[in-house]
């Protein structure tokens, strides 16, 4: 499990007084950095090797400005060239949102998927839920 | 079907040279305005009656700055108190992303779901896909 | 003068019920597209030739979700290699915000400023305020 | 001086490969939280007492994804009802951006400015640059 703590910003709120739902995909992508680093240790955007195929987010409870948020990140599936990242958003001991991103090991030059190397697979499995 | 045209902004791009994936949930929510208006014609945020339960987005093709985008919005399911909004993102005659938002007719004061009125159901069904 | 119309999104609001101030620099950059096109007609991000040196935004009145916004864009100064873009945000016949962006004609490879070509200067002057 | 550390997200980049300029006003507002707390210790958005009058941002150097950013926040002027917040963005020992926000102690019900209490003025002066 990877964990990241976020301090919500005033500009993250919406007119309903809570944090707007569109922040969750943004924060979840941000919290996938440790997963990106497994493939690209220096996070070099000129040699990027991952592409996003699908995201799902479920909203369980409202969350608010003024209280720290934790994003918990797990690897929930490892396939041949694709894998799933499962993530949860926690605030004040409540799981407020959860979701899954399907990512593909990808060659942007050839526009084709690539096999996930075995050594990365092993590290990934150590972060499974 | 509801249709909205968007001109992507330079700030919507990311280091891979395309539009960042996190814009899709933002644009899809923006394009649900006509659906919001069925429940709240004046879009009065002090009397909001909808809550988001789940979003799913699938990414089919990359999309870019410099070319107009169309968001197409359909009602794909109408239940007792919840309904599904299915949306597609098109650029240059390619369907680049699609997704579904599960929304609930909701009373924020009582924090409970509410039945969808019959007259709204009928209008929704005329926008089904 | 260049003019662009924007429909504010629900996610642009903040907990005070109005549109958050951070949207103005984002919308102003978006509305500078016609200025970008004077230098780069195809908006090719691989051959970008402008850099932002400074932005100033003054907030005159609150602005809200549910009503269309107009961004008006003028060229307020043309120098040797830099120029100023003056912009206003209007909603319901009220000027709600205004600001100036100082931009520089720039070579990213050599990391140096470049002279603005005379023909572009002339077009710019036709959009002055 | 108040200090905050930020890990830039992949979605904060733009097609030029650096962090987009529009993130600076967003991060600067986020880093003004300790200033907001001087007026509203619980950050209660239903009893907000500050309004933004003007922001200025100067861009000195490009900044990038993959390296931590520090935002330094100072009080640079304290007037009767308004005050200035001066902020700097640092990455890898380079000051990449700086700016000033003019804020006003404000009553949203009466839509008028209010005097800054003396005890808050004193704390502010201890954070001057």
| pLDDT for A129 | 82
pLDDT at B129 over 90: no
**CB-based contact B87:B41 (threshold 8 Å):** no
CB contact under 8 Å between B56 and A59, yes or no, is no
Is B13–D14 a contact, with Cβ atoms under 8 angstroms apart? yes
- pLDDT surpasses 90 at B24: yes
Q: Which residues of C touch A20 (CB under 8 A)?
A: 10-11, 13
| Strands of B21-120, DSSP E | 50-59, 69-78, 82-91, 94-107, 112-113
Task: Give residue C129's pLDDT.
Answer: 82
Cβ contact (<8 Å) for B57 and A55? yes
Neighbours of chain A (3+ CB pairs under 8 A): B, C, D
Per-residue pLDDT, D129: 82
User: Would you tell me how many other CB atoms lie within 10 Å of the CB of residue A75?
Assistant: 22
What's the gap in Å between the CA of D113 and the closest CA on chain B? 25
Task: Write out chain B residues lying below 8 Å of A107, CB-based.
Answer: none
A9, A66, D33 from D48: Cα distances, Å: 14, 13, 12
- Predicted confidence (pLDDT) at residue D42 exceeds the cutoff of 90: yes
Tens digits of residue pLDDT in B84-108: 999 999 999 999 999 999 999 999 9
CB contact under 8 A, D21 and C55: yes
Radius of gyration of chain C (CA): 16
Q: What is the mean pLDDT of residues D2-28?
A: 98
C62 and chain B in contact, CB less than 8 A: no
Averaged pLDDT for residues B22-29: 98
* Residue range A11-58, pLDDT digits in tens: 999 999 999 999 999 999 999 999 999 999 999 999 999 999 999 999
Q: Please tell me the distance from the alpha carbon of residue B98 to that of residue B15, in angstroms, as a whole number.
A: 23
How far is Cα A23 from Cα D106, in angstroms, rounded to an integer? 28
Which tens digit of pLDDT belongs to each residue from B29-61?
999 999 999 999 999 999 999 999 999 999 999
Does the beta carbon of D42 lie under 8 angstroms from any beta carbon of chain C?
no
Closest chain A residue to the Cα of B14, Cα to Cα? A45
Average pLDDT along chain C, 129 residues, taken 10 residues at a time: 97 97 98 98 96 98 97 98 98 98 95 96 93
CA C71/CA C34 separation, integer angstroms: 12
Q: Looking at beta carbons, which residues of chain B come within 8 Å of A16?
A: 45, 48, 108
- Which candidate from D30, D42, D65 shows the least CB-CB separation from A9? D30
Residues of D in contact with A91 (CB under 8 A): none
Confidence of residue D51 (pLDDT cuts 50, 70, 90): very high
Residue C11 to residue B33, Cβ atoms within 8 A: no
Quote the mean pLDDT of chain A: 97
A54: contact with B, CB 8 A cutoff: yes
Q: Which residues of C83-115 are buried (b: 16+ CB within 10 A; e: fewer)?
A: bbbbbbbbbeeeebbbbbbbbbbbebeeeeeee
Is the CB of C74 inside 8 Å of chain B's CB atoms? no
**Is residue A62 less than 8 Å (CB to CB) from chain C?**
no
How far is B22 from chain D, CA to nearest CA, in Å? 7
How far B16 CA lies from chain D's nearest CA (Å)?
6
**A63-72 tens-digit pLDDT:** 999 999 999 9
Model confidence pLDDT, tens digit, residues A73-104: 999 999 999 999 999 999 999 999 999 999 99
In angstroms, the CA B9 to CA A98 distance is: 29
pLDDT value at residue D98: 98
C-alpha triplet D105, D106, D112: angle, nearest 5°: 130
Contacts (Cβ under 8 Å, ≥6 apart) of B1? B72, B73, B74, B127, B129
Note whether A14 contacts C: Cβ–Cβ < 8 A: yes
pTM above 0.90, yes or no: yes
d(CA C116, CA C77): 12
Q: For residue D44, give the chain A residue with the closest CA.
A: A66
Partners of C30 in the β-ladder:
none
pLDDT band for B121, please (50, 70, 90 cuts): very high
């Amino acid at each position: 499990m990877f964990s990241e703590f976020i301090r919500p910003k005033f500009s993250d709120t919406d007119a309903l007084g809570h944090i707007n739902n569109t922040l969750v995909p943004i924060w979840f992508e941000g919290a996938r950095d440790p997963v990106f680093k497994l493939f690209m240790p220096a996070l070099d955007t000129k040699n990027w090797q991952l592409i996003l195929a699908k995201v799902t987010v479920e909203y369980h409870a409202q969350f608010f400005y003024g209280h720290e948020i934790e994003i918990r990140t797990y690897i929930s599936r490892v396939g041949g060239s694709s894998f799933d990242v499962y993530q949860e958003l926690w605030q004040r001991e409540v799981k407020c949102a959860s979701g899954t991103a399907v990512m593909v090991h990808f060659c942007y030059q050839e526009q084709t998927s690539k096999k996930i190397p075995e050594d990365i697979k092993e590290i990934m499995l150590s972060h499974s839920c």
